[in-house]
Every structure is written in structure tokens, then in C-alpha cells.
Structure 1
Amino acid sequence: MLGLGLGGLGLAAAARAQGFDPAGLFASGEIGWVEPMIPGVTLFQDAAGTIPVTAAGQPVGLSKFTAGGQIGFVQATALNRPIYQLDAQGRGCLAHNGLNQWMAAAAIAWGSDEATICAGVRKLSDAAQGVVFETGTNSGGGGAESGVFALLAPRTAADFGVNFKGSQISAATAASQAAPKTVVVTGIGKISADIVRLRINGVPDAQSAADQGLGSYGTYPLYAGARAGTGVYLNGARYPSVGINRLLTEAELAQLEAWMNARTGAF
């Protein structure tokens, strides 16, 4: 039986996703990550990657990347590991409890002033800001680091949002997105051109042309599900994700969002 996300536009998206592998976006040596979340292949219960995830309800200590230069998201502490679950449509995701579950990848040398981040995300509450992904220790206005970015669910309230920061922060927020809500969200940033764009379910939603200052996105750990592993925890679930240190063409972006939606069922 087809899930809800495979009807209508979802069916078309699934068709476009046939044969597409986001690892191909890295053919010229780009930096970033592809996190496909495949049980028994890229998901493991332990941080060492010796015990495969084989069923819903199992903890995830390693979510391997298939491109981009790093091993994957890791959580060495059993108490802090997200849980592999199947949603109502039978799609796999990593559930984060909003209290103490998070993962991190070793420092990524981004080496560019461009970034495209695309992920399937479900948020269960709008009561507090939640980090889906963030580089560094605080991408917000109070953070001292330059060259950082974040995808947030929510960012302020009933929304999804992104922060992109060279030496100054620029942000975009998609409003009227009250929890519980599942989306494919794409954040696009370029420091030198002061580009910040936010797409929800394959459609442009919000943007900002505020000055991002100078520089490139820097070399920082990449956190998933929390701010630096100490707070701003995600209350919801993460589906597969991709981040890359360049802007995508319109055709590449359409393929990536269709691929992501086939694994998320958001639209």
C-alpha cells in the first residue's frame, strides 16, 4: 500500500528520485555529507560500527556518511543516542527526544562561502528552539564564532529556520509551520553574495539579503540534534540529510529534494 507521501505530488517526486544518488553531487571533490540512514548498511547501534541497526526501537551510535569526507554522525554515550524508528508511513528516521539525544561528526573543513543543506525533518513541539544541524557551538546572534550555519526546528516558534553567518548572522524563517509537522527543508547560503534562502517541500518560502560579513564557512564539528551537545535539543525526528559546500543548479536541487521526499513523505 502506498504511504500518504507517495500520492499526488509525492508520487511525482518519487519518480524523479529514481536512479538519483546524492553522492554524485560530490563528483568534483566537494566537502559535506550524505546521510542515507540505511539499516544494516549505514546505521549501527554502537559508535564503532560493529553492531548493525536491524529493527525499529534500536539506538543509533553511528550514522555513516556515503560522501563528503567524514565518517558520519557518532554518539559514544549510550544514554544520548537517538532511536531508529519507523513512522506511520513505514519510513525510517532517527527519533530525538528533546532532552538528551544528539550526534556529532568530526570537524569538517568546509573551505567555501557556499552551503546547501537539505533534510527531512519532523518536529513534535514549538515550545523551544531545536537544532537539527549546527556547526560550531552557537550560530545565533549571541555566538562569537564566524563561518557557521544551522538548520532549526523550530527557530523561534511555529516555524522552521536557518542561520548562515560569515562574520555577521543572516537568517530566514518559514512561518505558519506549527508542530507536529514533517517537511523537507532546504537551506541555501552564500556569504559573499549575502544569500540566505529557505525552501519548504520543494518550494521557495523565505529569504534574507542581510549582510553576512566576510569569510568562508569554517572548520567546525557538525552537530545533529543539539547545540554543541549541551542543549537546544531537537524534539522530533531526523530523516536522511545532505549538506554540500556549493550551491546547486535548479536541476540538482529538484533531484535532491525529490530524493529526500521519497524518504520522508512530506509532500
Structure 2
Amino acid sequence: MATQARVAGTVKIDGVAAARDVIVIKDDPAGRQVVADGHSEADGTFDITYSDWAGSVVVLALDEYGDEFTTGTALNMGQVVHPATPNGYVYKVTAAGTTGTEEPTWPTTGSVQSGGVTFAPRPYYRPIASGPLQGDVATVQGPASLFLSGEPGVWLDPGDISTLFQDAEGTIPVRFDGDPVGLILDKSGNNNHVGQSGSRRPVYRVIGGRGQIQFGHSKFLQGLPVSVFSGDYTALWAGWVSDDNSVGVAVSTGKNVSRLAFYVDTRTSPRRLALVSVVPGDTYCDLPIDVGPAPHVFVSDRNGLITRGWLDHMEASPSSIQIAERPDNNVLYIGYQFAGGVYFDGFFSGLIATSVLNDSVREDMRTWLAERAGMQL
């Protein structure tokens, strides 16, 4: 869980609404710091959200001070400068050009010219502070809590039908059981969407009141390179295979090689959970249990040279470690492994990948995905 708060108001200068840069400072005597910044609109209003601070804040509105005047400088219309020796005014360019060879004498009314540039003076208003203020605080739960401050990752959620479209362009929404899925929007805010067109599109299904995506031979979704897989990460997906004689890769990254592949093979003994390609090599995580046609949550961690895998709460035993560098472009595939040409025959309930590595996050996301898959851990 994480906290998210918002503070809103209106900036006025001499009783008149004004557009200004606005910063929000947490009012913590142990360490005051900026938690967010934004700006007020032409009508003076601002509405700014910030994360991980539930206490009071101070809001500061800043006037534009501009750059210090320099000679021989090209300036555009609307730019602002201030004198080398402050006089309580700033000067806005009303006619563009290049400044002259000497700094002018700065008036407080009328206009002044330097070279080909004409300036108009206006008072400089020192920062206006308001506070302490208590923002409106809400607790953010689930995967959304991982991406409040633009952290890298991906979050695909077939249970949220508003993120599903029948076409790769995102113009035709998915509405009913049986509709093809040509696009899933990434809810992390990182635009790691995955899509497909034509006959390769998987199908939307509603099972137990929950949205799932059904994959089969030649059906898969493909995205762009996902930066989170270039470093340490936790990745989780939920779903299940179609039958007891299935082999497939539900989630993978890479093209010529796979940096991550959730590889499920119900034909082998012991059952194979995942292939995790990391630096320095490949780790196959094996489980001595049946991972047949029932919902599960699959988890993989990469932390430096340490790779771990879980099926639900059971940690897998790593084997078949090859010492080899395996860099690639980390293209994201759902329902397919490009490197091995292995499709997934089963149902996909969701994917979360994050650079946040800890037991609490792993447990919270595991529980969240389990609910999406219609299971209890």
C-alpha cells in the first residue's frame, strides 16, 4: 500500500488570478523537501497530486525571474530577464532580437531597448507561500501503488475491460466474451502496451465473472522493449494451461534470446515452472508438483546474479545453470517465446513487473493476481 494526496487552490497576485509555477513542500521538521511541482492555469487554479507523504505541506507559488541579462544574446518574444543588480523588477521581451554591447539602465515604467531587443518592465513578486495545509490523502493499493512516481515496469490487467481493444490501433473496445483482443493498454503509465492484428489475436473470455484472455497456437501479443527487464526486477503473472498435456511460454522478453520466459510444461517430471535468462546465464526453475489446468500465480525475481522462482507460495529449485551473457532488446511477448517459437495454450489473467524488490511487494502482488485469476492462496 502507498499513500497519494492532492492539494488544490488558486494563485492570486494583488487579488488577480495568475499563472505561476507551484511547488509542494512536505512540512516535516526532520527533513523538508519538495514532493511535487506543477503550475496554476490562467485562472489561477492548480490541482497537484503527490505520493508517500500524508502530513501537512507548504505550497509555494513562484514568479518567473528569468535569466540574468547578458550582452550579445538573441532573445525571443515573451522571454524574461532580470538586471545584474536586482531592482525589484523583471523585463519581458516585447520585440525580439539580439541584445546590445552594454547593459541598459533599467526603468520601472515604459520600455527600454538594448540592441534590437525591446523590454517592458513589470514588478517581480517574491514567492508566495501558503501553509501548513493538509492535503486530501488516499491509500493506494494493488499494482497502482508501484507506479505512483513514474517507476519503470508494466501492468497488464485483462480484468479491466476498459484497457482492452479489438484492434491494435485501440479504436474498437472489447465488449463481450468471444471478442478478439488486439491491444492491452499498460496501466503502469509506462506505455508498455501489447498488441496484435488479424488472425493472431487471442480471445477475451469471462470466467467466473472475471475477464481473462485465451491463447492458443499462433495467438500472441507483442509490445516494445521494456526497460525494467534490463536490470533487477520482480515479475508475476497469473493464469493456467488448457490441459494436462501442454507446453508453452505465457510471458517472455527478448527476440534472439529470452531474458525472461515463464515456461510452463505439464508433460515433464518434475514439472517445469520457468526459464529465467539472466546475467550470467539461464536458470530453469523446476517444481515436483503438477501445474495442470488450474489457476496459479507464477513469480520470478532477478537480483544481481541471484534468480528465484515461485509457483504460488512454493519456491522452485533452480537447475541447468549456464554461465553466459544473454543481452537482448527485451521486447515483451504474451503467449509466445520468439526465441524458441513456443506458443502458450491457456488463459492469461494478468502481468506485473516492477523494479521494486522486497518480500512485501511480492506477497501483495501475488495476492492481487490470485484474485484476478479466481483463486485463493
- Could you state the TM-score of these two structures normalised by the residue count of structure 1? 0.78
After superposition, give the CA deviation of every residue in 1:60-105 in whole Å (9 maximum; x if it has no partner).
Answer: 00011111523411002x2011100022x222110012x1100011
What residue ranges of structure 2 are gaps of 5+ in the alignment?
Answer: 1-138
After superposition, give the CA deviation of every residue in 1:37-72 in whole Å (9 maximum; x if it has no partner).
Answer: 245410011111111111111000001111152341
The structure that is strand-richer by fraction is 2
1:56 maps to amino acid: D
Q: Following superposition of structure 1 onto structure 2, how do residues 1-267 of structure 1 map, counting pairs within 5 Å?
A: 20-67=141-188, 69-76=190-197, 78-87=198-207, 89-97=208-216, 99-110=217-228, 112-137=230-255, 139=257, 148-154=259-265, 157=268, 158-190=271-303, 192=304, 194-201=305-312, 203-208=313-318, 218-228=328-338, 231-244=341-354, 246-267=355-376
C-alpha distance 159-175 of structure 1, shift in aligned 2 (>3 A)? farther
Distance of 2:157 and 2:348 partners within structure 1: 11
- 1:145 corresponds in structure 2 to none
> Quick check: 1:34–1:67 contact (8 Å CA) kept in 2?
yes
Cα RMSD for the two superposed structures: 2.7
> Quick check: 2:255–2:328 contact (8 Å CA) kept in 1?
no
The sequence identity of aligned pairs, in percent, is 25
The structure that is helix-richer by fraction is 1
1:223 maps to amino acid: Y
What residue ranges of structure 1 are gaps of 5+ in the alignment?
Answer: 1-17, 141-147
Shift of 1:182: 1.6
Shift of 1:247: 4.5
2:200 maps to amino acid: N
> Quick check: 1:82–1:102 contact (8 Å CA) kept in 2?
yes
> Quick check: 1:102–1:233 contact (8 Å CA) kept in 2?
yes
The higher radius of gyration belongs to: 2
- Structure 1 window deviating more from structure 2 (211-220 vs 53-62): it is 211-220
> Quick check: 1:113–1:215 contact (8 Å CA) kept in 2?
no
1:96 maps to amino acid: F
Distance of 1:26 and 1:114 partners within structure 2: 16
> Quick check: 1:166–1:215 contact (8 Å CA) kept in 2?
yes
- Structure 1 window deviating more from structure 2 (117-126 vs 224-233): it is 224-233
Distance of 1:33 and 1:172 partners within structure 2: 23
Find the residue that maps to 1:93 and give its secondary structure.
strand
- Structure 1 window deviating more from structure 2 (109-118 vs 56-65): it is 109-118
C-alpha distance 183-72 of structure 1, shift in aligned 2 (>3 A)? same
Q: Give the paired residue count.
A: 236
Shift of 1:139: 4.5
Distance of 1:241 and 1:81 partners within structure 2: 18
